[in-house]
Structure 1
Amino acid sequence: MQPLSGLIVLDFSQFLAGPSAALRLADMGARVIKIERPGSGDACRQLSLRNQMVGGDSLLFHTINRGKQSFTANLKDPHDLAEVKKLIAQADVLIENFRPGVMEKMGLDFSTVSALNPRLVYASVTGYGTRGPWAKKPGQDLLIQAMSGLAWLNGNADQPPTPFALSVADSLAGAHLVEGILACLLRRGKTQRGGRVEISLMESLLSMQFEVLTTWLNDGHQPPRRCAKNNAHAWLSAPYGIYQTQDGYLALAMGSISQLADIFASERLAAWPDPNSWFHDRDAIKAVIADILINQPTSHWLRLLEQHGYWCADVYDWQTLTASEGFQALAMTQCVPLGADREITLLKSPLRFNGVRPAITHCAPGLGADTSQIRADFHLEEHDQ
């Protein structure tokens, strides 16, 4: 039995942040029902990476919505809206990511639906929150990265601010939303009342930067500049970064420069005058390390560094990663049937319960594929008569 077996989650959200939160709840055993527009559904159904479409929907949609069910309803239609309200009355969690004010216009705001179901946990995702001058700005991942300071931290000193090459704001906001939902469900077990959980993409990325941002809030000093070479962290000293080797790349984490000097037999590193100057001289130190590492293949340096217990790692691309024994040991992929003669490979939940990783129950649903079954299961047709 999965931890959330028996819980009913209604997923009104689209794209990534809200649907990824619902996905994690489904991975933990919840029954997740996507509420979608007839005819078009979640806009992510047609948002493909490299034009990869599977069974009429994008592979991206399958990635984010596996294990869910689909119920179509026109929320502007009084009959459909009444059915959805009957579903809400029997649900445990509602997730939405409409623009601020949209759910209220439809009569599905927190105060209205909590009157229908006081035990409901109502979870909302926005771009920047619901108040202030940013509330109506487009809540798009790249824009959030740019405004949050995250892009400013990335890249070398001679490069422009560099965004993270994934939808990190959406993914992190989805994880934070799950955290809040589970907390409300735990409290509900004691009080028998639900509650409201709110997260914004901006707040998630601000929280992600809590180490360096808190430093600035308390002493007013931003990092003087990004590293000129091998930038990897705003405040960490050399050697922290990724370096080119003779045949690839090597990552070096926190470690002693004097120990590195011994390992490399480098007089230049050994002669570095003041350990307290490592942060201010990190570009010069990194340049020395780079000059050393470029002369041998990655495997040579890994062997040497690991013999001395120095923290380091190879830099994999996806082909190397997925072929590695370490990746295979994690057993994170699963081939999931898609129709009678096709299957797709998907990543499973990162969690294990009692040593077992939950299996993916089924691929993402076709638009409205479960509407009739859901009507029967929740006795919606009986209420209509």
Structure 2
Amino acid sequence: MLPLEGITVLEFAQFMAGPSAGLKMADLGARVIKIERPRTGEAGRQIALKNLFIDESSMVFHTANRNKQSYAANLKDANDLERVKKLIAQADVMTHNFRPGVMEKIGLDYDTVHSINPKIIYGVVSGYGPVGPWAKKPGQDLLIQSLSGFVNLSGNAEDNPTASGLATSDIFTGVHLVQGILAALISRTKTGKGAKIEVSLLESTLDIQFELLTTYLNDGNQLPKRVKKGSAHAYVAAPYGLYQTKDSYMAIALTPLDELVKAMGLSLPNQFLAKETWFTERDAIMDFLREHLIKETTQYWLDLFEPLDFRVSAVFDYKTILDHDAYKVLKMDQDVETSDGIIMKTTRCPIRIDGERIFSRKSAPKVGEDNGLIDNEFNLN
């Protein structure tokens, strides 16, 4: 039995942050019902990566909405809204990511929902928080990465601001939403009361930068400076970074510079003997290392460094890692199947419980696919 079995989640959220939270709860056993507009469904069904679609919805929609059900309802229609309210009365959790004021206009704001079901956990995702000058601005991953300073951390010193290749703000916000909801569910077992959980893309993206923001706030407000070359951490001393070798690239993480240089059969230049220079002179130190690392293959250096327990690795692309035994032993991928019998390969839940991996065969639903079932089970008609 999965830990969230018996928990019913109503998901009014769309795109990625809210639905990714629903995905995690579904993987852990919750029954997640997407409340969608009739016919077209949530807007995220048409947001595609590489224009890839499965049936009438994008592949990226399927990645965030597998293992869920769909209930189509026009929230502007009094009869549909009444059915949804009956469903809310029997649910444990509901989530949405509408801009401030939208749910109030519909009549599904927290106070109204709480009056229907005082035990419900009401989760809200916003772009910038419920108040402030940006409260009603559209929140989107790239915009948040840009406004939060996050785009000034990746890449090299001469690069333009560089966004993450992932929907970083969305995904972490979804994780924080799940954390808040699970905490509220635990609290409910003690108090019998529900709660309103609020997260925002901006706050979550600031939070994941807590190390760097704390450094900035306590270091005279000095902005982070990226290294000249090597895509290293803005605040970590050499040798931390990526280096080209004779045949590819390698990563060197938290490894003492003097021990690394000694293992390479070299002497550390006198100007770099003092440990404080390992940060202040990191560009020059990394140039020194590059001059020698490029003379041998990545495997040569790994064979030299790994027995010494240095924090080093090769640099892989997707093909290399997915073909490697280290990936295969994880059994990280799974097949999911649509109601039309279309098979899609995707990743599984990364959590193991009592040593058991969590797999789910069900793909994302079609719009309104489960209306009849839910109407009957929850007595909505």
TM-score of the two chains, using structure 2 as the length reference: 0.97
Alignment partners' CA distance in 2, 1:231 and 1:245: 15
Q: Counterpart in 2 of 1:288?
A: 288
Alignment partners' CA distance in 2, 1:250 and 1:318: 16
Structure 2 residue runs of 5 or longer lacking an equivalent are none
CA deviation string 1:276-296 (max 9, x = no partner):
211100000011111111111
SS in 2 for 1:352: strand
CA deviation string 1:5-39 (max 9, x = no partner):
01100000000000000110000100000000001
Q: After the TM superposition, which residues 73-152 of structure 1 pair with which residues of structure 2 at under 5 Å, given as runs?
A: 73-152=73-152
Q: 1:10 is aligned with what amino acid?
A: L
Of 171-180 and 138-147, deviating more is 138-147
Alignment partners' CA distance in 2, 1:45 and 1:300: 47
Alignment partners' CA distance in 2, 1:57 and 1:264: 53
Q: 2:324 is aligned with what amino acid?
A: S
Structure 1 residue runs of 5 or longer lacking an equivalent are none
Alignment partners' CA distance in 1, 2:269 and 2:63: 47
Asked if 1 retains the 8 angstrom alpha-carbon contact of 2:336 and 2:344, the reply is yes
Deviation at 1:232, TM superposition (A): 2.0
Deviation at 1:206, TM superposition (A): 0.6
The answer to whether 1:158 aligns with 2:173 is no
Q: Counterpart in 2 of 1:27?
A: 27
Q: 2:43 is aligned with what amino acid?
A: A
Deviation at 1:186, TM superposition (A): 0.2
Of 215-224 and 250-259, deviating more is 215-224
- What is the RMSD computed on CA atoms of the aligned residues? 1.3
Asked if 2 retains the 8 angstrom alpha-carbon contact of 1:269 and 1:285, the reply is no
SS in 2 for 1:71: strand
Q: 2:119 is aligned with what amino acid?
A: R
Deviation at 1:341, TM superposition (A): 5.1
Alignment partners' CA distance in 2, 1:346 and 1:178: 21
Q: Counterpart in 2 of 1:240?
A: 240
Asked if 1 retains the 8 angstrom alpha-carbon contact of 2:121 and 2:181, the reply is yes
CA deviation string 1:143-202 (max 9, x = no partner):
100111111122211111111111100000000000000000000000011100000000
Alignment partners' CA distance in 2, 1:336 and 1:273: 56
Alignment partners' CA distance in 1, 2:91 and 2:340: 32
Alignment partners' CA distance in 1, 2:365 and 2:296: 51
- Percent of counterpart pairs with the same letter? 48
Q: Counterpart in 1 of 2:61?
A: 61
Deviation at 1:268, TM superposition (A): 4.5
CA deviation string 1:221-254 (max 9, x = no partner):
3246221111321211001111111221101001
Q: 2:368 is aligned with what amino acid?
A: G
CA deviation string 1:321-357 (max 9, x = no partner):
1111111111111112235653111111111111112
The answer to whether 1:375 aligns with 2:371 is no
CA deviation string 1:70-96 (max 9, x = no partner):
000000000000000000000000010
Of 86-95 and 355-364, deviating more is 355-364
Alignment partners' CA distance in 2, 1:322 and 1:96: 35
The answer to whether 1:203 aligns with 2:203 is yes
Q: How many residues align?
A: 381
Q: Counterpart in 2 of 1:344?
A: 344
SS in 2 for 1:278: helix
Q: Counterpart in 2 of 1:320?
A: 320
Q: 1:379 is aligned with what amino acid?
A: N
Alignment partners' CA distance in 2, 1:95 and 1:361: 24
Of 71-80 and 331-340, deviating more is 331-340
Asked if 1 retains the 8 angstrom alpha-carbon contact of 2:11 and 2:96, the reply is yes
Alignment partners' CA distance in 1, 2:375 and 2:299: 60
Deviation at 1:219, TM superposition (A): 3.1
Runs (4+) of structure 1 exceeding 2 A deviation are: 218-225, 267-273, 337-342
Q: After the TM superposition, which residues 160-175 of structure 1 pair with which residues of structure 2 at under 5 Å, given as runs?
A: 160-175=160-175
TM-score of the two chains, using structure 1 as the length reference: 0.96
